[in-house]
Amino acid sequence: MKKGIIVASFGTSYEEARKKCIETIEDKIKEKYYDYHITRAFTSRMIIKKLKKRDNLYIFNEKEAMEDMKKKGIEEVYIQPLHIIPGHEYEKLTFLGLKVGKPLLYSDRDYEKIVSHLEIGELNKKEALVFMGHGSDHDADMAYKKLEKSYRNKGIDNVFIATVEGKRTIEDVVVDLKKANILKVVLRPFMLVAGDHAINDMASDEEDSWKSILKKEGFEVEIILRGLGEYKIIQDIYLSHLEQLLEGKQ
């Protein structure tokens, strides 16, 4: 019986980010599960539409990917999401009636792996790392707060997580940075790709970017534009979730 895996992410319109953060993980899946048919899906209709219009590049949404599998006679189909939290975009996958793997932040073990193994660089007592998460009005937005708490539980007091569209904002984090007497902030995206949010909302010179907000508040700011998909530990977590899915252990 033919088997297939749909690797589904929100997507990105940035080619370099797509290759570094999405294709890298897809290639690892193809290498390990060479006897499966592997296909890509984006859950963002906006990004799919933009790529088609701008680049004449058409990428399946999750429903089309499933239908394509059926047309190819693939009867057993699994989905491994590359989403960060089990929010609205992740739920699009669960509505298909297929077996779906877990997103990045799901089990306590996922948080433990990230806190212990995702490099944060050398930070002195006057320096802090601020991650930009996407955030959501979904209940799963609490994952970002839990991640920050996980760093605290490990005795790491100078890593903070704020979100673009979630409950905890950069303004909230500014208050905490000042309380901790931080002088320098390293900004990094806590997103699969360093795409539009990271480049424009986080790192640009626009007045309302996170970099500009922090500079106005008197902080020295360093930018690291590297999506989570570039880090081996993140790739390994997604691969472990897929393995659990295929083995029926999740």
Q: Does the annotation list 134 as a binding residue?
A: yes
Instruction: Clarify whether residues 60 and 133 are in a common domain.
Output: no
Evaluate whether 48 touches 65 at the Cβ level (below 8 Å): no
Enumerate residue ranges in the chain where pLDDT < 50: none
Catalytic residues: 134
Claim to verify: residue 236 and residue 196 sit in the same structural domain: no
Q: Tell me, what's the pLDDT at 153? A: 97
Verdict on whether the full-model pTM lies above 0.85 = yes
| Best CA proximity match to 122, nearest among 211, 189, 186 | 186
pLDDT at 220: 98
pLDDT for 249 equals 82
- CA nearest to 25, candidates 104, 133, 107, 106: 104
The range of the structural domain enclosing residue 52 comes to 3-104+231-246
Specify the CATH number for the domain of residue 158.
Answer: 3.40.50.1400
Does 88 belong to an annotated binding site?
A: yes
pLDDT of residue 45: 97
pLDDT for 250 equals 76
138 is in an annotated binding site: no
Query: Which amino acid is present at 188?
Result: R
Q: Please tell me whether 36 is known to bind a ligand.
A: no
Q: What pLDDT shows up at residue 239?
A: 98
- According to the model, what pLDDT value does residue 114 have? 98
